[in-house]
């Protein structure tokens, strides 16, 4: 449904997929193409970590240990942000990750679709562990397809690159294992409700046209 004048969209959807599957890129394209307001739980958590709030301190401990942030914290943060959006349509990136989160969301808001990015774990591991970052600017390099001109050194400053804790092999492996254990039941949950739509591939540019086609049957594109 489209509200004339404001173009507020009634579709409410969630975007699922393991870390490194391209959810951020897909969410950005959906926002640009269809006008849905996107909400990233990862961004919310990182904001709290940066501000060193009580939630942020706990979240950082979880990240360093390769664990997901506890259900109740993520649920509270997300539902509070959704309430602020009002009656407009939205897309959640990274939530829900557990069945309890999915149920808490369903209790408050009817969902139109659960979009799942089905990317092989081997592809994700190779993609994430090849990432190196320049701390000062946040510039990210990938040794496979976007390497720095000089190995281990930022192109612009000549300063050393670092590998984030999140991108270290042992952390990536732990995160993917925990994601699989906790989120597989979520896929089953939405599948049983007839809301799950999975898109399989190793590259976002290959998966995206199918997502675009699917959403275009639900809401009119902006362009």
Residue numbers annotated as active site: 23, 97, 131, 164, 175
In sequence order, which residues have a C-beta less than 8 Å from that of residue 175 and are 6 or more positions away? Answer: 18, 19, 66, 68, 166
22 is in an annotated binding site: yes
Q: Is residue 67 a known part of a binding site?
A: yes
The answer to the question of whether 100 is labelled as a binding residue is no
Q: Is 60 annotated as a binding residue?
A: no
109 is in an annotated binding site: no
Q: For residues 20 and 211, what is the distance between their CA atoms, to the nearest angstrom?
A: 18
DSSP-based helix, strand, coil % in the chain, nearest 5: 50, 15, 35
Residue 128, classified by CB atoms within 10 Å of its CB into exposed (0-12), middle (13-18) or buried (19+), is: buried
Question: Are the C-beta atoms of residues 32 and 41 closer than 8 Å to each other?
Answer: no
29 is in an annotated binding site: no
Determine if residue 25 is labeled as part of a ligand binding site. yes
Cα gap 140→103, rounded to integer Å: 36
CB atoms within 10 A of CB 13: 24
Instruction: Establish whether 35 is an annotated binding residue.
Output: no
Q: Is 69 annotated as a binding residue?
A: yes
Query: Binding site annotation covers 41?
Result: yes
Is 2 marked within a binding site?
no
CB within 8 Å of 13: residues ≥ 6 apart = 36, 89, 90, 91, 92, 111, 112, 113, 114, 115
Which amino acids are annotated as binding site for AMP, given as ranges? 41, 46, 67-69, 94-97, 101, 164, 175
Which amino acids are annotated as binding site for GTP, given as ranges? 20-25, 131, 140-141, 204
Which amino acids are annotated as binding site, given as ranges? 20-25, 41, 46, 67-69, 94-97, 101, 131, 140-141, 164, 175, 204
């Amino acid at each position: 449904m489209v509200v004339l004048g404001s173009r507020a969209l009634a579709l409410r959807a969630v975007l699922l997929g393991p870390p490194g599957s391209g959810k951020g890129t897909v969410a950005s394209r959906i926002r640009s193409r269809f006008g849905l307001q996107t909400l990233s739980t990862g961004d919310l958590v990182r904001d709290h970590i940066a501000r060193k709030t009580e939630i942020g301190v706990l979240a950082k401990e979880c990240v360093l240990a390769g664990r997901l942030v506890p259900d109740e914290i993520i649920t509270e943060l997300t539902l509070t942000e959704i309430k602020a959006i009002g009656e407009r349509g939205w897309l959640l990136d990274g939530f829900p990750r557990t069945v309890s989160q999915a149920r808490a969301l369903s209790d408050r808001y009817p969902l139109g679709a659960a979009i799942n990015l089905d990317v092989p774990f081997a592809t994700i591991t190779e993609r994430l562990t090849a990432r190196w970052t320049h701390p000062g600017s946040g510039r990210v390099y990938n040794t496979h397809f976007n390497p720095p001109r000089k190995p281990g050194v930022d192109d612009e400053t000549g300063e050393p690159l670092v590998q984030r804790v999140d991108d270290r092999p042992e952390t990536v492996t732990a995160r993917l294992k925990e994601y699989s254990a906790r989120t597989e039941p979520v896929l089953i949950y939405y599948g049983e409700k007839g809301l799950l739509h999975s898109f399989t591939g190793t590259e976002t540019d290959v998966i995206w046209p199918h997502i675009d086609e699917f959403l275009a049957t639900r809401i009119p594109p902006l362009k």
